[in-house]
Amino acid sequence: MSFGKIIKSGIACLALTIQVASSQGNADTKFAEPLAEVLKTIETRFGIKLSYPESLIKDRTVTYAEWRFRMDNVEQTLQNVLASQDLTFTKSGEGKYKIKNFEYHLKTPEEGKRQLDYLSTLYNNKEAWEKRKDSMKTEMLTALRLNPLPVTGNSKPILVNKRQYNGYSVENIALEIFPGLYIAGSVYKPIGIKGKLPVVLSPDGHWAKHRYRDDAQYRFATMARMGCLVVSYDLFAWGESLLQFKTEDHRRALANTVQTLSGIRFLDYMLSLKEADPSRVAISGGSGGGSQTMLGTALDNRITLSVPVVMMSSYHSGGCPCESGMGVHLCGGGTNNVEIAAMAAPRPQLVISDGKDWTQQVPTVEFPFLKNTYKFYNATSQVENVHMPDEGHDFGKNKRQALYAFLAKHFKLNTAKMQATDGRIDESKVTIEADSLMYAFGNKGERLPQNAFRNYIDFERSFNNLTSGKPIKIGLIDLMLLKRQKLSAVALAKELGADGLEVDMGGLGKRITFSNQLLTDSIRDKFMNAFRDNKIIPASIAMTGYYAQSFCERESYIESVNDAFKTAELMGVRDIFLPLGVACNLQEQPGKRKAVVERLTEIAKIAEEKGIVVNIETSLNATEELILLKDIGSPYIKSYFNFSEPLKNGRDLYKELEILGRDNIGMIHCTNKDSVWLQNDPQIDLSKIKQTLNKIGWTGWLMVERSRDAKKPTDVKYNYGANTAYLKRFFN
């Protein structure tokens, strides 16, 4: 071989060595490798086959990849690698594994049994159990953000379209369980039965047609014919709730809270009926309705009997966030549906299980644990299990018959006339109605009240504000405190009595994006620590650079706005401030309106994906701004209303607030002339502003901007301390 060839060969080998070393990485790169490559390596080394959708592993990287391998254990290797990606696996055959998203709500049956064994060591008598139960109840209500319960709506129950059938009546109902949030249902009552009547709450699961399906109607109507007052009601973002929310909103964490609150509010209503017997109150639902049954009974002592159907399991906490999204199963150091069901003791409880879902081991694993809890009260006769090993996940006829018998036994109902020759309750007299007959708001939602929420973000913001104890919060702005992106602004805002601080993104000028320090981890961490230490909130992220720069013409607008979104995400902020400024003054330059709408429509898509609201400040009057918002067509773009805008142009401030309304105002700049304090400003009647905001049901941030005393315009503490204190007299 020639010397030249030797050199070329050596270079090739060196290049190959460098390439291999590069692909394996090193400590500087955290030995990072693409997940797709790691999985191929696992398949080769262990001689197995992995199945997964490509979308599940796309663009994922594993740090310390091959350090996670355990050559004597393929499943430990898979666990180590996939856990870093919030993925998991199941064995689908010999040498075959299926990769899927980590399911937080699901354990293995063995893990469920081990958890019950552990829980059994925490208490062995009534006193110890009562102590844990009381602690768990408080923790669960707090986790659900129902401690204390939020305010209810002011409207009366909506009751429409009463129908009478053989032995029972049905009437459609809707309750405003929270201001602006309505849940619809149906009330079934017996006909011809006098005296006090037991109440039955009927939450339902995720089966097709929900509470409108035939087997549900058979159940509700039959219980009414037996002599019960029965109410069924929609799941959150199901049924008529879809008039207010999207289907995907059902899988939001707050669905867990709303459905629990629905049960409480519907029970409030049912017990207000003169014929209701508060000593006989039952709840029974299947699947997801079974989750509501167990949790509702654990939290509400007014419920005297419960029948959870095909749901009580030690290893399955409910596959939907509406059952487990608020972390109730993390309370008490960790719990499960069996222990939650045990919180019903010593009240009568029937657990219905089957052989073809996660309740298949109830007779041998879960029910003995449950029964042992009832032993603490000498009440084992009060708890029963009906197991149907050959049946599946439904609320079928046999399960309904078990429910009827348990109700009749404990509520002392005379059902002799309803029994067929085989002794079972006859359901044949029930009339199955069309879905539309059960709508409380009409076939097209025409009766949905005007104040009802029309999207999730508006409900969430209102819920957050009203449950915080300060539905209207007072904020200050670091820029106006002369401390733009300065850490000391946080402590100063606290000293001046503010509830939160709006943090600016920094200057913009001719840069592609803002001179923003908050994307540097070490700096942002200092800010977040300061917010925690001073017990105030980062209220919003402001892009005040767009006061002078042209949002509607700037080529790099999307980069700068994305930086604001990223900063807001990292700081847990749900609001961004975007002024359209001088260059996009739509009053003076209406020709730029098209560009503004197009750009804000594009930004709205990002905002919705991230769950962050962009609050815009314009020069338009309220009617014009409302049209602009409608053209953009997203609840994630709202008005940052400024008191000074209508006042300096001779318009009615209070009327403009009403025109825009609750759902279109994100935040408010509470300011007018930069020469006089708010309390000395003859143009602002704060009592009337409060009255107007209450009228439209608005909650959120009032941000103090300007309104400084002309004699001391640079004395920050003097001016903003006075304005903050004055606002707090009215709103806090």
Angle at 55 between CA 54 and CA 57, to 5 degrees: 70
Half-sphere exposure of 35 (CA within 13 A, CB side): 22
Tell me: do 474 and 424 sit in the same domain.
no
pLDDT at 24: 60
Asked which of 62, 82, 101 is the last residue of a domain, the reply is 101
Q: Which amino acid is it at 666?
A: G
Tell me: do 198 and 317 sit in the same domain.
yes
**Cβ distance 235 to 250 under 8 Å?**
yes
Tell me: do 473 and 419 sit in the same domain.
no
**Cβ distance 502 to 473 under 8 Å?**
no
Tell me: do 89 and 228 sit in the same domain.
no
Tell me: do 369 and 263 sit in the same domain.
yes
- CATH label of the domain that carries residue 135: 3.40.50.1820
Domain count across the chain:
3
Output b/e per residue, 480-498; b: 16+ Cβ within 10 A.
bbebbbeeebbbbbbebbb
Tell me: do 272 and 421 sit in the same domain.
yes
| pLDDT tens, residue by residue, 24-60 | 679 888 999 999 999 999 999 999 999 999 999 999 9
pTM of the model: 0.91
Is 380 exposed, middle or buried, given 0-12, 13-18 or 19+ CB atoms closer than 10 A? middle
H/E element, 666: strand 665-670
pLDDT at 9: 46
pLDDT at 494: 98
Residue 388: closest CA among 335, 424, 422, 350? 350
Low-confidence stretches of the chain (pLDDT < 50) are: 1-23
Q: Give 74-78 contacts, CB < 8 A, sequence gap 24+.
A: 74/42, 74/46, 74/48, 77/42, 77/46, 78/42
pLDDT at 1: 47
On whether residue 492 sits in a domain, the answer given is: yes
On whether residue 607 sits in a domain, the answer given is: yes
Query: φ, ψ for residue 725 (rounded to 5)?
Result: -60, -40
Q: What is the residue range of 384's domain?
A: 130-438
* Beta-strand runs (E) in 526-664: 537-542, 575-579, 613-617, 637-642
Distances 198 to 203, 411, 505 between C-alpha atoms, Å: 16, 7, 60
On whether residue 113 sits in a domain, the answer given is: no
Report the greatest alpha carbon distance in the chain: 111
- CATH label of the domain that carries residue 39: 3.55.50.30
pLDDT at 21: 39
Strand partners, 231: 187, 201
- CATH label of the domain that carries residue 596: 3.20.20.150
Tell me: do 232 and 84 sit in the same domain.
no
Asked which of 406, 438, 470 is the last residue of a domain, the reply is 438
Tell me: do 504 and 622 sit in the same domain.
yes
pLDDT at 718: 97
How many C-beta atoms lie closer than 10 Å to residue 413's C-beta? 19
Tell me: do 78 and 135 sit in the same domain.
no
Q: Give 158-165 contacts, CB < 8 A, sequence gap 24+.
A: 158/182, 158/440, 158/441, 158/447, 158/449, 159/187, 160/440, 160/447, 161/437, 163/433, 163/437, 164/191, 165/221, 165/429, 165/430, 165/431
Tell me: do 78 and 215 sit in the same domain.
no
**Cβ distance 508 to 468 under 8 Å?**
no
On whether residue 181 sits in a domain, the answer given is: yes
On whether residue 153 sits in a domain, the answer given is: yes
Residue 669: closest CA among 441, 515, 516, 474? 474
Tell me: do 464 and 554 sit in the same domain.
yes
Tell me: do 305 and 259 sit in the same domain.
yes
| pLDDT tens, residue by residue, 578-616 | 999 999 999 999 999 999 999 999 999 999 999 999 999
User: Which residue carries 């100063």 as its tokens?
Assistant: 492
Residue 317: closest CA among 156, 106, 562, 607? 106
On whether residue 19 sits in a domain, the answer given is: no
